[in-house]
Homo-oligomer: A and B are copies of this chain.
């Protein structure tokens, strides 16, 4: 059982404690996504991760803290994937092409059944466990809007966009692109996630609307 668990451990987690922590996070993520927050208990997480319940509580003080760590980890990983290829967004010319690439990438990374299920779960528990919603907001739209706002500010400095309030503009961009497909998936389920061709059209449409309002050739 330990061998099985160890196979899922990434090589950058140093030491036995790190391996156990990773095993707990992996086991708990699957259980939360499958059984919901209330339907998951720490005994079963410990059993599935092949560690003692004491070890689970040593790493995470409560079920809520464990779920917050998972939400932070999953949204952080998705955010890294979006940001990695566009680290210099705002430094290159041609904002239209850059924003289109960014929009397509964000749609593809975020609109996965796993992240949509996590988001449904967090929203369903947000009233009882506000820390979950805060973690998803910070790692999801919060991070996306902040990163985009600084890129928009740089383009504006160089005269390639015309934006007074970069944060408001970034929020407009974010919801033009993400609003419809994310909220459709929230309510209609994973089968309602649009296919690649529809997402590309949707990205192009959103960028066109955004640049009509914020392009420098207004």
Cβ proximity bits A168-206 to B, threshold 8 Å, 1 near / 0 not: 100110111011101110111100000000000000011
Instruction: List residues of chain B with CB within 8 A of the CB of A127.
Output: 117, 120, 189
Known: A178-B179, A179-B175, A180-B175. A188 touches B125 (CB 8 A): no
Cβ-based interface call for A65 (8 A): no
Cβ-based interface call for A209 (8 A): yes
Known: A210-B209, A212-B213. A137 touches B187 (CB 8 A): yes
Cα–Cα distance between A126 and B171 once the two chains are bound (Å): 26
Main secondary structure of the interface of A (DSSP, over half): helix
Instruction: Establish whether residues A186 and B133, one from each chain, have CB atoms under 8 Å apart when the complex forms.
Output: yes
Instruction: List residues of chain B with CB within 8 A of the CB of A137.
Output: 184, 187-188
Cα–Cα distance between A20 and B178 once the two chains are bound (Å): 42
Minimal Cβ-Cβ distance residue in B for A128? B36
Instruction: Establish whether residues B126 and A187, one from each chain, have CB atoms under 8 Å apart when the complex forms.
Output: yes
Cβ-based interface call for A104 (8 A): no
Cα–Cα distance between A45 and B209 once the two chains are bound (Å): 48
Instruction: List residues of chain B with CB within 8 A of the CB of A171.
Output: 180
Cβ-based interface call for A16 (8 A): no
Minimal Cβ-Cβ distance residue in B for A186? B123
Cβ-based interface call for A107 (8 A): no
- Return A35 CB to nearest CB of chain B, in Å: 11
- Return A123 CB to nearest CB of chain B, in Å: 5
Instruction: List residues of chain B with CB within 8 A of the CB of A206.
Output: 172
Cβ-based interface call for A63 (8 A): no
